Amino acid sequence: MAKELSPCERYSNWVQDEGKKKRWCVALKATGPEQVQIILQQSRAGSAGDVVVGGEFMTRGFAEEWLAWHHNQRREEERSYRRKRLLWIIIPVVLAVLGAVFNWAWHNL
């Protein structure tokens, strides 16, 4: 699966000024997803309303978009880790089974 671009790397309906978007992204990253989620939960602003994250006023919609992207990235990383871990479990099992089959065939055929 191709890595999804963050709201910082792609077009966003919430901000067109690239300089402002970069400042917002720096503030979001420095604040961290857990704290951003708390800020959003405490805010009554609508999607187009302002929230303050890391000293930057930004639209709630952009912060929500960044947070959703961050959660998706975390889920993908966890899935990838589990697939790799499962592969490292399966390979030795398959090799052991093949070894047993060859050993049986060597001694019985």
- Cβ neighbours around 39 below 10 Å, total: 18
DSSP 8-class letter at 46: -
Residues 6+ apart with CB under 8 A from 22: 8
Range of the domain at 75: 18-108
**Tokens 């951003």 correspond to what residue?**
36
For residue 38, being part of any structural domain is answered with yes
For residue 62, being part of any structural domain is answered with yes
Residues 6+ apart with CB under 8 A from 72: 4
For residue 3, being part of any structural domain is answered with no
What is the pLDDT, as a whole number, of residue 74?
Answer: 87
The predicted-structure confidence for 29-75, as pLDDT tens digits, reads as follows 999 999 999 999 999 999 999 999 999 999 999 999 999 999 998 88
For residue 2, being part of any structural domain is answered with no
For residue 7, being part of any structural domain is answered with no
For residue 47, being part of any structural domain is answered with yes
Strands 56-59 and 50-53, bridge-based pairing: antiparallel
What is the pLDDT, as a whole number, of residue 2?
Answer: 59
Number of independent structural domains in the chain: 1
What is the pLDDT, as a whole number, of residue 84?
Answer: 86
Two structure tokens written together for 46: 């609508």
pTM of the model: 0.70
The predicted-structure confidence for 84-105, as pLDDT tens digits, reads as follows 888 888 998 889 999 999 989 8
The answer to whether residues 10 and 21 touch, using CB atoms and an 8 Å cutoff, is: no
For residue 69, being part of any structural domain is answered with yes
The predicted-structure confidence for 5-37, as pLDDT tens digits, reads as follows 888 888 888 998 999 999 999 999 999 999 999
For residue 56, being part of any structural domain is answered with yes
Query: Minimal CA–CA distance to 19: which of 33, 32, 5, 8?
Result: 8
What is the pLDDT, as a whole number, of residue 30?
Answer: 96
What is the pLDDT, as a whole number, of residue 1?
Answer: 53
